[in-house]
Structures are given as structure tokens and as C-alpha cells.
Amino acid sequence: MAMSAKPRVNGSMLPKHMDRCVCFVGRNPGASFRAGAMSTSLEASDKQLVNIHLQQPLSEPFSQYVEVVGRVQRDCSIAAHKIVSVGADFDFERYNKVIQLCSRYPELFCPQSLETFT
């Protein structure tokens, strides 16, 4: 099975990616991502709250920052396929600036544009 690249998004970009798989990094506001939970809300790098729905209960709590790979739902929540702890030391503001640049200049950062060079 080939892996496809997924766009990195913040909260305001979710409506543009409806029913598509995305990569989202969010801040875990305290105890919201606890063991046994089936859903939670994460703060996006642009300060928006995004609901995350899990396929199965968490077996352990996650760190302050987590990366979620999943499909954007009609209500702009994310149905998570994979969640990975990113740690506690993450520059959220700089990450948001990078996401905005990638969105503004897709011809430089979009994975499909790289195919023309292979």
C-alpha cells in the first residue's frame, strides 16, 4: 500500500479539506486527552478548538502536543486514524507560520508538484 502525502492544516483550513485526510498538530489543553477517552478537543496552531474523534479508546494519556492524521468531517472535526505524541517543547507559532506559507505557495510545498522533478 502506497502512502500518500497529507496536507498540514490548522483550524481555519479544515473547511477547505472536507472529507480529505490531513495532518493536524494540536495542543492538548491539560487533561482532555486522557486514557479511555473516545473524543477530545485540541487547540490548533491558529488558536481554534478542533474536535477529534477516536476509533478506539486511548490506552494512555498523550503529551502536550500531538499530531493527528485523519479525515476531516462535515462539522470540521477530525476522525483520527493515527495520533502521535510530539512532546512538550514545540514552537506552535512558528509551526503555524510554516503551515500558512505552505498553503500560500503550494507550487513550492505541495507533494504533487514534486512529482514533476522525478
Which among 82, 83, 14, 22 has a CA at the least distance from the CA of 46? 14
DSSP state of 80: E
Which residues lie across from 52 on neighbouring strands? 40, 78
Rounded mean pLDDT, 85-92:
90
pLDDT of residue 112: 54
Evaluate if residue 107 carries a pLDDT over 80.
no
pLDDT digits (tens, 9 = 90+) for 39-76: 889 999 999 999 999 998 877 778 889 999 999 999 99
pLDDT single digits (tens) 7-30: 899 999 999 999 999 999 999 876
Instruction: Report which of residues 102 and 68 the model is more confident about.
Output: 68
